Amino acid sequence: MELREKIAQAQRIVVKIGSALLTNDGQGLDVARIGLWVAQIAELKAQGKEVVLVSSGSIAAGMKRLGFVTRPTQVNELQAAAAVGQMELVGIYESHFEKHGLCTAQILLTHDDLSNRRRYLNARSSLRTLLGLGAVPIVNENDTVVTDEIRFGDNDTLGALVANLVEADALIILTDQQGLFDKNPRDHQDATLISYISASDDGLEAMASGGAGVLGSGGMLTKVRAARLAARSGADTLIASGREEDVILRLSAGENLGTWLLPEHGPIAARKQWLAGHLKSRGALTLDQGAVKALRKAGSLLSVGVKDAEGTFSRGDMVICVDESGGLVARGLVNYSVAETLKLLGKPSGDIGEILGYEGEPELIHRDDLVII
């Protein structure tokens, strides 16, 4: 059997489960099947991998509870269904994960949370902390506070943005089809499964434009676009059938199942490109020799090694890091504003809470947010 070695190495994985799959043909949530996916995620955790689950299903579950026979079209009714269904959804996950001794966390996100730099950093910090503590974050869109214009609408996009957020190695999208076919298999009997393809292949949209199922909202189009988004931070995307036995474990072990959408660049190159291309520097930090050495050994930047700060930066902005003779050392996304940074110069991380009056991140710039020049 040919193995997808790169996938087998993935340490941090986002698993997205769609509505089409989570429900028994619209008859509420498929509790037994959810138990099977949870058992697989528990096994991945036992292998030392980190998993973030992005789960749809709140609207489908709420529809059943509220007695809607077909999916409501009005936004306020969809929101009501989502609010009711989300309770049931997370309850089912929590009770299944508990059987494996795992703790879950509910994260509800909106588009604004991920486009606003400050909220983005806060969401990322919560997710990182939860992963560090061994919990399984369960993410869905915060449907009750969003309207049509600002919705992700489909959780494929949300899954990809979460993969960017946590810098996942892989995004697994489980759906009701074997993967991406060259045309919609519901309408074409001769459709053939694509085993692997570049996430930036020009032909993807044409293949995937065959519409969605009854309960799902995005179809394959949002899945291939999600793969493209995930590729921005170097993540591989896998699209496969959630009904296949042990699908999550087999995909994560590198088995050739479903469709593998490959990013053009690896995570580091993708991140460097993003930092280099998309952000303007808002200030500069002057580092002492110890800090320069630490950064070159892949460490984070701590305030104790920073001698000066200038510019107009806020939390989340990009700054350049220079050595004492002005030589460029790195670029990175800073966790504190210039006013806060000036108060922290030369101070150990343990003093941050006392100096600023609240406990923030221990690093001025986390190593994941640094690109060494």
d(CA 97, CA 89): 12
What is the total count of residues that contact ligand VHF (CB under 6 A)? 18
Task: Choose the contact partner of 137 out of ligand VHF, ligand ADP, none; CB within 5 to 8 A by kind.
Answer: none
Cβ–Cβ under 8 Å, residues 221 and 18 = no
Continuous segment of H or E residues that includes residue 87: helix 75-99
Q: 373 in helix, strand or coil?
A: coil
Task: Choose the contact partner of 306 out of ligand ADP, ligand VHF, none; CB within 5 to 8 A by kind.
Answer: none
Task: Choose the contact partner of 58 out of ligand VHF, ligand ADP, none; CB within 5 to 8 A by kind.
Answer: ligand VHF
At its nearest, how many Å lie between ligand VHF and the CB of residue 283? 38
The token duo for 70 is 């077909």
Contact residue for ligand VHF among 19, 104, 259, 337 (CB under 6 A): 19
Q: Torsion over CA of 283, 117, 224 and 64, rounded to 10 degrees? A: 170
At its nearest, how many Å lie between ligand VHF and the CB of residue 155? 4
At residue 129, φ and ψ (nearest 5 deg) are -65, -45
The verdict on whether residue 25 carries a ligand-binding annotation is: no
Contact residue for ligand VHF among 58, 79, 110, 341 (CB under 6 A): 58
Question: Could you say which residues in the range 309-368 bind ligand VHF, by CB under 6 A?
Answer: none
d(CA 82, CA 72): 11
Question: Could you say which residues in the range 192-221 bind ligand ADP, by CB under 6 A?
Answer: 207-208, 210-213, 216-220
Question: Could you say which residues in the range 12-51 bind ligand ADP, by CB under 6 A?
Answer: 18-21
Q: What are the strands, taking DSSP E only, across the chain?
A: 12-17, 50-55, 104-109, 136-141, 170-175, 196-198, 236-241, 259-262, 281-287, 306-311, 318-322, 328-333, 370-372
The verdict on whether residue 220 carries a ligand-binding annotation is: yes
d(CA 299, CA 310): 22
Question: Could you say which residues in the range 156-185 bind ligand ADP, by CB under 6 A?
Answer: 175-177, 180-181, 183-185
Burial of 347 (0-12, 13-18, 19+ CB in 10 A): middle
- For ligand VHF, the closer CB: 114 or 287: 114
- Interaction site with ligand ADP (CB under 6 A): 18-21, 175-177, 180-181, 183-186, 207-208, 210-213, 216-220
Residues in contact with ligand VHF by CB under 6 A are 18-20, 56-60, 82, 140-141, 143, 154-156, 216-218
